[in-house]
Amino acid sequence: MEILANRVVTMAESETLAMTQIARELKETGKDVISLSIGEPDFNTPEIVKTAGKKAIDDNFSHYPPVPGYPDLRKAISMKFKRDNNLDYAPEQIVVSTGAKQSIYQVVMSLVNPGDEVIVPTPYWVSYKEIVKVAEGVPVYVKATIENDFKVTPQQIKEAITPRTKLIMFSSPSNPTGMLYSKEELKAIAEVVKDYPYIIIVADEIYEHINFEGGHESIAKFDFIKNQVVTVNGVAKGFSMTGWRIGFIGAPLYIAKACNKLQGQVTSATCSIAQKATVAAMELDPKVSEDIITMRETFRRRRNLVYDLLRDIPGFEVRMPQGAFYFFPNVAELYGKQVPADSQFAKTYNRRTIQGSEDICMYFLYDANVALVQGIAFGDDNCIRFSYATSDDKLIEAMRRVKEAVLRLEAGSL
Ligand code: GLU
């Protein structure tokens, strides 16, 4: 008899974290693995933020904070939403949680009843569908293709809506594709959704500051849809604060209250020190903050570098991303090819033919010592994800290894 609950037994592991763990273990055996699997900036947290965190310890911020976050932090986030996104969220409409992942989890748990449908544009970030399933919701996948720059159309959203639709998971800049929706594209989607006042859009904007096209656009900024949007953000990506675990939402008041209630039963609140540090992060204006600008411009340079290197690899179809720090090339042309007889992948997995994104990633991991994430984890088996949040030297070496491994593949299948 299975002792564990079905919800955990049937849940997929977070593949981004799983791949990173495999790479870590391989590294521990002495292999020189370059990990391009996890989406994590390789910068330090800005000094001013670290100082605020240290001060919070010295000032004895060591007691339970209010469940939705300290008042000064919620005020600072409210100011940030206005300054950066032209969104009016009062502090009462803001809930601070332990990472944007928990923010999304609480929104889904607060809104989805068993059997409710949640529209998930594909490729999606790995955790969306599993969170929906934990809530006993039904993910409804809407497929965006590389030909359409991995963006879904308003028509596709309209066709996916049924009387059971409750939520739409939405992200721009997108993880894993790095694509951005323009203001016009967001408006067109909002215009479809506004005709269904009981549908809520979860707008995941965690990559807001890593945008190479200019200003970030929030879907909540159109007045006619604002009451149907929960805007999710956090400090992990834009401020290189992944380990501080701070995410937040701006939401219609009744949703913020529901998330607050849930959070009160789950974590009580978010780490007091991290919250105080986040106040300092919110005060950094992205238009002038050197920390944010340096990070974005470094990612822009690396993106251009990796684009040229990836395009030079046979069998790779690559789109130029406009945000985040990922490439999501289509590598389906390599499927069906044989790995060489001396391949570590063939030995480890007893397989000689590349059958899909998982095989090709394992082949690159074992034969090229480069860790990536299989596209199937994001709902698209034709693609694989590269995170370029690492040094130029490592990126150049990783691309060299991957190219060499591709060149070693032999035509035809066994
Ligand atoms: N969001 C990052 C990624 O996609 C971090 C890992 C995770 O939480 O999935 O790699």
How far apart are the CA of 229 and the centre of ligand 1, in A? 23
- Domain boundaries defined on the chain: 6-44+290-412, 48-282
Condensed to tens digits (0 to 9), the pLDDT of residues 57-85 reads 999 999 999 999 999 999 999 999 999 99
Q: What is the mean pLDDT of residues 25-35?
A: 92
Sign of dihedral through CA atoms 369, 371, 377, 379? negative
Closest CA to 245 of 141, 382, 103: 103
> 362 C-alpha vs ligand 1 centroid, how far in Å?
19
More confident residue, 290 or 16: 290
Span 142-191, pLDDT tens digits: 999 888 899 999 999 999 999 999 999 999 999 999 999 999 999 999 99
Q: How far is the CA of 1 from the centre of ligand 1 (A)?
A: 33
226-271 pLDDT, tens digit per residue, is 999 999 999 999 999 999 999 999 999 999 999 999 999 999 999 9
Q: Give the helix/strand (H/E) hosting 166.
A: strand 165-171
Residues above pLDDT 90, as percent of the chain: 90
Contact present, 375 and 382 (Cβ < 8 Å): yes
Least confident span in 35-39, 59-63, 397-401: 35-39
Q: Is the pLDDT of residue 412 over 90?
A: no
C-alpha 194 – ligand 1 centre gap (Å): 30
Q: Which ligand 1 atom sits closest to the C-alpha of 101?
A: 8
Q: Report how far ligand 1's centroid is from the alpha carbon of 127 (Å).
A: 8
This prediction has a pTM of 0.95
Is the beta carbon of 37 within 6 A of some atom in ligand 1? no
Question: How far is residue 202's CA from residue 179's CA, in Å, rounded to a whole number?
Answer: 17
Looking at residue 413, its pLDDT comes to 56
- For the stretch 81-100, pLDDT in tens is 999 999 999 999 999 999 99
Mutational pocket test of ligand 1: of 125, 128, 235, the residue with most ligand atoms within 8 Å of the beta carbon: 125
CATH class of the domain whose range is 6-44+290-412: alpha beta
| CA of 206, closest atom in ligand 1 | 1
CATH number listed for the domain at residues 48-282: 3.40.640.10
The response to whether residue 12 sits with its C-beta less than 6 Å from ligand 1 reads: no
The verdict on the CB of residue 16 being under 6 Å from ligand 1 is: yes
Alpha carbons 282 and 69: distance in angstroms, whole number: 14
Q: Per-residue confidence at 350, pLDDT binned at 50, 70, 90?
A: confident
Using the 8-state DSSP alphabet, how is residue 267 labeled? T
Q: How much is the pLDDT for 146? A: 84
pLDDT: which is higher, 288 or 145: 288
411 pLDDT band, cuts 50/70/90, is: confident
> Residue 387 pairs with which residues in a beta bridge?
326
Mean pLDDT (the chain, rounded): 95
The total of other beta-carbon atoms located within 10 Å of residue 2's CB is 7
Tell whether ligand 1 has an atom less than 6 A from the beta carbon of residue 234.
no
Q: 132-139 long-range CB contacts below 8 Å, 24 or more apart? A: 132/108, 132/167, 132/169, 133/7, 133/10, 133/11, 134/7, 134/11, 134/105, 134/108, 134/109, 135/108, 135/109, 136/112, 137/108, 137/112, 137/113, 137/166, 137/167, 138/164
Q: Helix, strand, or coil here: 282?
A: helix
Ligand 1 atom nearest to 175, measured from its CA: 4
Q: Choose the residue to mutate in 175, 206, 374 for probing ligand 1, maximizing ligand atoms within 8 Å of C-beta.
A: 175
Q: Is the pLDDT of residue 11 over 80?
A: yes
